[in-house]
Each structure stands twice: as structure tokens, then as C-alpha cells.
Structure 1
Amino acid sequence: MKRKRAAPEGGPLFEQQSMSLEVLRTVAAAITIIAAAMVAANWNARITVCGFALFIASSIAWIADGIIEPKSSLIIQNAALLLINVLGLWRWLPRAGKEAAASQAEDRAIR
């Protein structure tokens, strides 16, 4: 009786998953860098809020990476960062609203 050989390591499916994982990691890294720059710049509250929103997206992407290739440390770290960034968004959102209202009032006064 002949034994069936296991599928060879790699192959098209492996290469496709590997490529998808690389795309996910590249996008997550790029989003993280852009978000960090936006929050660090502190130009105005709207940009800071957008930075926190991007941080949330990047944390979700990194958590997905940690789930795809089981990496509990990556999942735990980004779950904590996700909570921190949700808190940051929650704290900065009212400031962005006040800035937007002040900007609209200023626009009306100029007209």
C-alpha cells in the first residue's frame, strides 16, 4: 500500500497567502507611520482625530496579522493600543467639534 505524500511546502496557495500577508503588513506599517505623524504634528484637533482613527485602523490590521500567523504578543500589544487609541479619539473628538464650530462661526462673520 502506497502512502500519499503530503503536499509540498509552499505552492500557489502558500505564495498567495504570503503575498496577502505582506500587503497587510505593508499597509498596516504605512498607516501606523502616517497616524503617528498626524498625532505628533498636532496641527489642529481634526487632524489629530484623523490620526487616532488611522491608529485604530492600523491596530486592527496588526491584530489581523497576529491572528493569521498566531502571534499572541502582537495581538495583545495591538489590543492595548486599540483601547488607548479609542480613548484618544474619544478625548479629542469634542475638541475637533469645537474647532469646526468656531471655524464655521468665523466664516459666517467674514461674509
Structure 2
Amino acid sequence: MTAANLGSRVTGWGFVIFTVGSLAWSAVAIGTGQTNLLLTNGFLTLVNAVGIWRWLGRQARLEDGSEAAKAHSAVSKVPSLFGIGSLVGGKLTGRDGTTIGTVIDGMMRCDGAELAYIVVGEGGIGGIGERLHALDPNRVRFGDGIACDLDAAELSQLPVLAHDNWPAALDKHVAQN
């Protein structure tokens, strides 16, 4: 639950489960007189408490704030908003409404605070065999999700990025394809 990155609430509840486990082992340690087991699980209980506070407390409230701003902007006479925190891990939907990739990251320009490109992963299983592609943000629509006018075949034809070496800017060829 904590490693799957399924959102702050799922991660937070994973830490709740960890806490129950560390408290149970602490009880075993007390009952059997195992000081080292008690010290270890006492420390783990503290770590888990921080995880609960961070994911079920702080991060969940921040995500709620982002969602509230998005909802308010949708009914206001201002441009609609999309939370940057929703970008990473978001599913990229193609022109036919199916998921064609997952957003790995977004690269912002420092000189104008604009989105320079998003990195989309496609193919593979659990990151193994996954291909990364840079996608011009002008080709993407943000709203209830992240969508584009490409299909899976067109996305797979974009140049592949090295996992550890992304470009400083999009090549004009990449932006136009």
C-alpha cells in the first residue's frame, strides 16, 4: 500500500497497518521480555506515526485544497486550474478515450514558469521495458484528467528518451510530430 503510490490516503492507511503490526510486535516483546524487539518496534511505531501524520493528515489536506481550487475554477470566470501534483502518475488518455501512457514527470521552464514538456511512459510492466517519450504540453489537455489527440501507436512512434538523460528542450521535430 505504501509502495504502490496510489494516493495519499492509501499510503496513509498502509502506515496505519504498519503501526498495528509494530504495536503487536511490541506487545510480544513485552510479554517475552525481548528488549531489542521492543526497542526496534517502538522506533518503528514512531516512524509509522510520522507516516500517518504526513499522508493521512498533511498530504491529504493539501490534495483536498488542490481539488477544491480545481472545482472552484471550473465554475468561476477564471481559467480552469489543474493541480501539478495530479500530473505525475496521471494516466494519459488518447483520442479514443483509452489510456495510452502514464505521466512520469513534467519539466517546467524557469524563465517563464511554463510547462516545457511532459514525460510519458508507455509499454512494459512495472517500469521494466517501459519507453519514455517527451510530449509537448500544447498537445495535451488538462481537466478531469490528462488527454491528447494521439493514439497508442502514434505515442510509441515519438522518439524514446533515455531514462537517465532527458533533453533541456524539446526538439522541433518532436514538438511537431
Q: TM-score category by the smaller chain?
A: 0.5 to 0.7
Residue 54 of structure 1 aligns with which residue?
17
Q: Which residue of 1 aligns with 2:60?
A: 96
Q: What do the CA deviations read for 1:2-31 (whole angstroms, capped 9, x no partner)?
A: xxxxxxxxxxxxxxxxxxxxxxxxxxxxxx
1:54 Cα deviation (Å)? 1.3
The separation in 2 between residues aligned to 1:53 and 1:100, in whole angstroms, is 20
| Larger strand fraction of residues | 2
- The structural deviation recorded for 1:68 is 1.2
Shift of 1:100: 3.7
**Cα distance, 1:106 vs structure 2:** 5.8
Counterpart for residue 111 of structure 2: none
Name the aligned partner's letter for residue 97 of structure 1: R
* Structure ranking higher in helix proportion: 1
* 1:52 CA drift (Å): 1.0
- Runs of 4+ with deviation above 6 angstroms: none
Q: Which runs of 5+ in 2 are unaligned?
A: 76-177
2:49 to 67, 86, 104: 86
The gaps in structure 1 that reach 5 residues or longer are: 1-37
Q: 2:34 & 2:62 partners in 1: Cα distance?
A: 41
| 2: CA distance, partners of 1:68 / 1:94 | 35
How far 1:40 sits from its partner (Å)? 0.9
Q: TM-score, normalised by structure 1?
A: 0.55
Deviation, structure 1 residue 66: 0.7
Q: Does residue 75 in structure 1 map to residue 60 in structure 2?
A: no
Deviation of 1:102 (Å): 4.2
Deviations for 1:50-108, whole angstroms, at most 9, x for unmatched residues? Answer: 11111111111110011111111110100010111111222222111232454567678
Is 1:39 matched up with 2:8? no
Aligned to 1:22: none
